[in-house]
Structure 1
């Protein structure tokens, strides 16, 4: 059993849901060295999240952003607003979606379904650079 771990940064983005599968694969080329394993991705932030969802139709990402805005609107009366009106709604959305994601590795590739992709859900209005810790555990080729 072998382990690999690294931290990488994503390009800064404004609020929205973004397909980042290609960015992750480029940032973690070590995936190709594993016959079988697990890739865990952990975002080191409390106002963004990672999830696995539709990888083809960008309308799904826009609809998800809209749905989450309805669940945790900026207009709600929050106590915590230290960084502006989008701060607390971002924390709520991050907790709902989650900070980590685990994907199987098979024969040096991510074993996602046909229509699955890795998403960054950015919940802040202004651009933020996000860091992800990628950890692989598995059997090397």
Structure 2
């Protein structure tokens, strides 16, 4: 079985946000699979997806702070069409990545005990983000 659909994650401010529950609510098809794979693809160039800590929110804050040190805002970039956070957002998106793949086992995501899906928003303004979800399994 293959299934694909575009899902949305509500408006988020800059930072790293745990969205595992948002994803599962929009993909009830996962519950019907004994074995499979979920691929999530972020359809934007100023946000990213990753798997990381799902319990301590300080990890998300530390990650956002660290990425801001790696790609700070400032007048050092040529590309600033949408403001001072434009090019830093693209850099952070490339570093974090635009997709994750997660195994499905017995109707659930086969993540580790402390793993969750993060949406990393790199723009200052709040954005609703589109994610293309592809599910393969039986």
Calculate the TM-score normalised by the size of structure 1.
Answer: 0.96
CA distance in 1, matches of 2:133, 2:102: 11
Large movers: runs of 4+ above 3 Å = none
Residue aligned with 1:95, SS: helix
Cα RMSD, aligned residues only: 0.6
Q: Runs of 5+ in structure 2 lacking a partner?
A: none
Q: Runs of 5+ in structure 1 lacking a partner?
A: none
> Equivalent residue for 1:115?
114
**Corresponding position: 1:127 with 2:126:** yes
Deviations 1:21-67 (A, max 9, x none): 00000011110111100000001000000000000000000000000
CA distance in 2, matches of 1:109, 1:83: 39
Residue aligned with 2:7, SS: strand
Calculate the TM-score normalised by the size of structure 2.
Answer: 0.99
Deviations 1:52-109 (A, max 9, x none): 0000000000000000000000025000000000000000000010000000000000
Residue aligned with 2:34, SS: strand
